[in-house]
Amino acid sequence: MCAVRDLVKTYPAMRGRRGAAQAPAVRASDGISLEVRRGEIFGLLGPNGAGKSTLVRQLTGLLRPDSGSVSVLGHDLVRHPERAARLLGYLGQESTALDEMTVALAVETTGRLRGLTAREARDRRDAVVGELGLADIAGRALKKLSGGQRRLACFAAVLIGERPLLVLDEPTTGMDPVARRAVWAAVDRRRAERGTTVVLVTHNVLEAESVLDRVAVIDRGRVIACDSPGGLKELVGEEIRLELVWRDRPPLDVPEVAALAATARAAGRRWTLRLPAGQARAAVSAVTAGPAFAALDDFTLATPSLEDVYLALGGRGEGLVKG
Partner 1 sequence: MSVVPAEAVAGTEEGTPDPGAWPEDGPAAPLGPRARLFPALGAVYRAQLSRARVARIPLLFVATFQSVGIMILMRGVVDGGDEARAVVSGASVLVVAFVALNLLAQYFGQLRAGGGLDHYATLPVPPAAVVLGAAGAYASFTVPGTVVTAVTGCLLFQLPMANLWILAAVIPLAGAALAGLGAALGLLAPRPELATLCGQLGMSAALLLGVLPAGRLPAPIGYARDLLPSTYGVEALGRSFDARPDWWAIGADLGVCAAVGVLSLAVAAWAYRRAAVR
How many chain residues bind partner 1 (CB under 8 A)? 72
* 123 lies in the binding site for partner 1 (CB under 8 A): no
CB of 22 to partner 1, least distance (A): 18
Stretch that binds partner 1, among 89-97, 126-134, 277-285, 315-323 (CB under 8 A): 89-97
Which of 27, 75, 122, 316 is the binder for partner 1 (CB under 8 A)? 75
User: Which residues between 276 and 315 bind partner 1 (CB under 8 A)?
Assistant: none
Stretch that binds partner 1, among 110-118, 245-253, 257-265, 290-298 (CB under 8 A): 110-118
* 180 lies in the binding site for partner 1 (CB under 8 A): no
* 222 lies in the binding site for partner 1 (CB under 8 A): yes
Cα–Cα separations (whole angstroms), residue 216 to 1, 116, 164, 268, 304:
16, 34, 21, 31, 17
> CA 116 to CA 21: how far, in whole Å?
50
Residue count (the chain): 323
Which of 70, 87, 152, 166 is the binder for partner 1 (CB under 8 A)? 87
Stretch that binds partner 1, among 18-26, 58-66, 239-247, 281-289 (CB under 8 A): 58-66
CB of 200 to partner 1, least distance (A): 14
CB of 37 to partner 1, least distance (A): 4
244 with 273: CB under 8 angstroms?
yes
CB of 294 to partner 1, least distance (A): 44
* 93 lies in the binding site for partner 1 (CB under 8 A): yes
* 128 lies in the binding site for partner 1 (CB under 8 A): no
* 39 lies in the binding site for partner 1 (CB under 8 A): yes
Please state the three-class secondary structure of the chain as a single string: CEEEEEEEEEECCECCCCCCCCECCEEEEEEEEEEECCCCEEEEECCCCCCHHHHHHHHCCCCCCCEEEEEECCEECCCCHHHHHHCEEEECCCCCCCCCCEHHHHHHHHHHHCCCCHHHHHHHHHHHHHHCCCHHHCCCEHHHCCHHHHHHHHHHHHHCCCCCEEEEECCCCCCCHHHHHHHHHHHHHHHHHHCCEEEEEECEHHHHHHHCCEEEEEECCEEEEEECHHHHHHCCCCEEEEEEEECCCCCCCCHHHHHHHCCCEEECCEEEEEEEHHHHHHHHHHHCCHHHHHHEEEEEEECCCHHHHHHHCCCCCCCCECC
Indicate the residue among 172 and 244 with the shorter CB distance to partner 1.
Answer: 172
* 151 lies in the binding site for partner 1 (CB under 8 A): no
* 183 lies in the binding site for partner 1 (CB under 8 A): no
* 90 lies in the binding site for partner 1 (CB under 8 A): yes
> CA 31 to CA 274: how far, in whole Å?
31
* 98 lies in the binding site for partner 1 (CB under 8 A): yes
Which of 146, 228, 263, 300 is the binder for partner 1 (CB under 8 A)? 228
Indicate the residue among 35 and 243 with the shorter CB distance to partner 1.
Answer: 35
Which of 23, 37, 252, 258 is the binder for partner 1 (CB under 8 A)? 37
Which of 114, 125, 203, 241 is the binder for partner 1 (CB under 8 A)? 114
CA 264 to chain centre: 27
CB of 209 to partner 1, least distance (A): 10
* 145 lies in the binding site for partner 1 (CB under 8 A): no
